[in-house]
Structure 1
């Protein structure tokens, strides 16, 4: 089993920077968090987690792993362990990816407008574990050396290749990961939300009240809770309004494939509407569904009264196809 260790900032959820979750280093707030790209390391983005560590250059896979051919661009099946400084002398394991793909060069994945996802690692969200803060008990003493005999390297990326690392430290980490059965932060959207319902007696609540609660939660940007109430409303009445609300909430949670599945079911059942086609276009565009996005883009413009010329359509089709060739592998 190949291991990579990454020193990153300390956060509670690694699901974006919020007022309640600010990145820290050594117990101190980072004054300018604008380039703390590890802030999204445990965000479920359409079934994957994308991990970042500041490397200062390429990850030289062929230098650090014997099985890798010279100049290899990626290595699969790696366990990536994320550590963060609790103070100046001690780090803790905050989480890990198993069965991860490590990329030689950092990937800058374009999302929407000028937003990008920066990452060095990718793993299925079901192979990713983020520990609650109180469960971050695996302590690693911080070394002052970039090539320590014991303890964590001061470098952001390290491999525990010393005699101690290979014979003692990595086996301890392996046992900790293998045997961990404590609580985990719930990061997998579909695994935790699909078919889940609110914790109340739904027989006492009407469809109308469930839908209103769901809509209110959505407007307040409590998308996970909104999903529960939309799903409960759909059990009462399988309406377009509840279905569209559910698809929209999943879209806000970056569950784009699930958004498309629900929205296309609505399209078959209730027929098309501008808002439904727009949602299908947005979701398919983000994940570069080159066989769907161009058609929804064309139809959306027709519904808005501004039909595309053939040139405009093929310009967009070629753009999506080119992006898919460059980035599609990272979204699957």
Structure 2
């Protein structure tokens, strides 16, 4: 249950704004005005576009923290430095995390960032892995560093997304330049409690405000 969430393993990840995250469609397109980084705005696509599609009763997504070019000239994605943020890890993975998905509907208007969903009992990986699976006869191939059981994944219906997440530039704590916020600041302690209470309230009324894969 949400009230048993380990606050030390509660993290926030910035993604692009979509309605369903079940693949791109006429009913669920990525707007060039949305937040989530330059790639979704430029290409109108994102890895998280399929994060609500399940394979073997699991769902997969990415916390993208940037890339670099190695000594051979190849483009690489930066790994998650888990040991810097979690105690009970060998640095390769962290289990039993709660990942809160955060998005901004219209970046040009400087709108707030809202919680759009969350995954419980999720595993964070240091290195990316790749999965391929079919959904409605379409081949899905995606890199991921976060996964959980589909029954632990929750998406808030678009019209009910109203819980704001702080930005460092506005309040001195919250999301900075990175797409992942570990909420380790002193001011974040109270915000984590509010997040957990919010999740609990949504789960009590889940047929009205949230959906699952």
TM-score, with structure 2 as normaliser: 0.76
Q: Which residue does the alignment assign to 1:40?
A: 50
Distance (whole Å) between structure 2 residues aligned to residue 104 and residue 25 of structure 1:
30
Bigger relative contact order, structure 1 or 2 (CA pairs below 8 A, ≥6 apart): 2
C-alpha distance 149-142 of structure 1, shift in aligned 2 (>3 A): closer
**Aligned 1:204-223 pairs, distance under 5 A:** none
Q: Which residue does the alignment assign to 2:86?
A: 65
Q: Which residue does the alignment assign to 1:16?
A: 23
**Are residues 1:153 and 2:184 paired?**
no
C-alpha distance 127-17 of structure 1, shift in aligned 2 (>3 A): same
C-alpha distance 123-114 of structure 1, shift in aligned 2 (>3 A): closer
**Aligned 1:117-266 pairs, distance under 5 A:** 117-144=142-169, 149-165=172-188, 167-180=189-202, 181-182=204-205, 183-188=208-213
> Does structure 2 retain, via aligned residues, the 8 Å contact 1:73–1:104?
yes
Distance (whole Å) between structure 1 residues aligned to residue 14 and residue 126 of structure 2:
17
> Does structure 1 retain, via aligned residues, the 8 Å contact 2:32–2:44?
no
More strand by share: 2
Gaps of 5+ in 2: 1-5, 67-77
Distance (whole Å) between structure 2 residues aligned to residue 25 and residue 163 of structure 1:
35
Question: How many residues of Structure 1 are paired with residues of Structure 2 in the alignment?
Answer: 182
Distance (whole Å) between structure 2 residues aligned to residue 55 and residue 33 of structure 1:
19
Distance (whole Å) between structure 2 residues aligned to residue 6 and residue 25 of structure 1:
20
Distance (whole Å) between structure 2 residues aligned to residue 111 and residue 19 of structure 1:
22
> Does structure 1 retain, via aligned residues, the 8 Å contact 2:157–2:211?
no
> Does structure 2 retain, via aligned residues, the 8 Å contact 1:15–1:39?
yes
- What are the Cα deviations for residues 157-209 of structure 1, in whole angstroms up to 9, with x where unaligned? 111110001x2111111111122233245434xxxxxxxxxxxxxxxxxxxxx
Q: Which residue does the alignment assign to 1:96?
A: 118
> Does structure 2 retain, via aligned residues, the 8 Å contact 1:10–1:25?
no
Cα RMSD, aligned residues only: 2.4
> Does structure 2 retain, via aligned residues, the 8 Å contact 1:4–1:79?
yes
3-state DSSP of counterpart to 2:59: strand
Rg larger in structure: 1
Q: Which residue does the alignment assign to 1:74?
A: 93
